[in-house]
Structure 1
């Protein structure tokens, strides 16, 4: 598409947008002037669906009227609530329902999965990740390695971009996997790097990892609900993600887990066990000896957090109603492309502002990371002061995420206006 830097053009795109009505399904915070803010921070916390409060309230009413019997009675028995989320969750990540379960929080689930899928030996003990991964991933891996009696400085191998570059080249990832060979136990990377917004070639990484005998998993915190995923077809071993970013399920919302179907009937696979992961047909017999449920559900520990799962169900319904990831992705590419177009028109040098997110739409989601070499914090605070809500990441990056469910092309145009006013003063 040929973009134009005018308000009329932005409004024309909005008028043609088949998802335009979904903005009204979300609550948008006010700006300092009392108008709706320009919210470009869905990569940190998605906006609240208007249906979320009522969804939680229904469970409060069940708690009030049914008490403990709410586990088995009513329209949404709590004992089976996680099953209500399976189909929609599977569609979001490209999985079979048996391969997914919603439970716990993201880093908890990452630890649980690493217990099963990082099983080092004397010779195969290396774990590969991208340098500068989100700190929780770094800390989880450090402690998992130490639990095995290994030294993180030796066992953890980090992938770094080439000198002068900000993102990883797929061929360099492949070469490093091949180089590590039969010393590589597990590959664990973000599906999208939180800092740069780069989408990794998860299919190629999985093939390369399997070719040398390693297990391969992904933290999809910035990918789930943002880009199309095909975890089953890509043959990924395991993955986990949060629900409070692009899935709009509230602060600290529940996490999702993927375990490939080939592990569904391997009860002997080492895991940390809990009552809720036990065969639900036998669970209340309270017997010794753990017998996991089939598939990802066998990694559950405790009964589900129903109030947060109810909000998650309401949020998933918005994604389903919008047509799922194909429809969202189509608008996402246009929104992000329009923001990129407006930024590139500012006429700034790379010493002033540099987009470090890949220019290729296939290698990014709905996020642009702006590297501001001088006084970046001042620009970020100015954006916030005029009602543009983005995200600051040390030492000098502003992340802006135009989310297709609730951001408009006029939103993007308005952000471009603010940036143009700033650029004119440089």
Structure 2
């Protein structure tokens, strides 16, 4: 029972949110009008309605007939309180007018906005589908245009530039006159070239490319210096880095109708094709250049190999001469001691004391002579090691060793 007593029922009107908003705004308008009437500014409402084309009510006409002079009316209109009330009244009436707008009027206004947006996107080189749902680069069905070609296949055909009826200018952003297609780069002039789009007597479109003075513009690999009529599928290179393909849907359709059995090119028309075409037209054969470069590398390799072989042979001869010199030096030092022993000895009569001293000196000499010979051999061991190392390097089947 206590819980039942605490139950409260709040009545909620099942009203459409838009209707509720309109009702609240109308109440706000009525409240603001009452506020203006209370301040004696009813004539301001009549003037506002007359300016906006609304027919004033009879009560407002009666109030306006009792208005004061024009100067007094001006002072009352531009008072702070009246200005705020009038501003709020205008905003509220504008919102009510938007809510009361019919569906057809909203559709017409949305369509006008969409057309304006598509025109701006087309000027920037971005196309839009007819449903307006997806924004991207799409090939138009009638308008001639330029499609970019890039060395990276994923970056190709990502930019689309429309060629409008009349003159389409191509140049830099800082040019004196506004350019329709803005490019940048070291070889792009302020006013690089122009595209002239005209319509023939039979409805056939014709686009003429006219390069400006001193600009580098190539069509199908050939540099153009005079006005050139473009055909659908032509490759256009502006400067050194901007590569485009010209597409004219109407022209391509007419050509297909005239020659339905025309063969399609086997090789795709991409950035590499345009660059190779440019080099061929300028007299540069890539295959010949690669073969010539390969021949130069082979000649350089052969020359370096001969120089290395000659240097190795010279080093071998030097090592052999050094080895021969070391052998002669060792042999000469080894043969010095026997020659000294073979010298004739003169007999000298010695006394007993001299004989004892001679025997003592002989024993000492015989004891220490092996020490001096060992020192001599150790001194020549360095040369022997070097000789052995040289013989091993030169693959000579000879070796020298020393033993004490």
Normalising to structure 1: TM-score of the pair?
Answer: 0.16
Normalising to structure 2: TM-score of the pair?
Answer: 0.16
Q: Which of 1 and 2 has greater Rg?
A: 2
Higher RCO (C-alpha under 8 Å, 6+ residues apart):
1
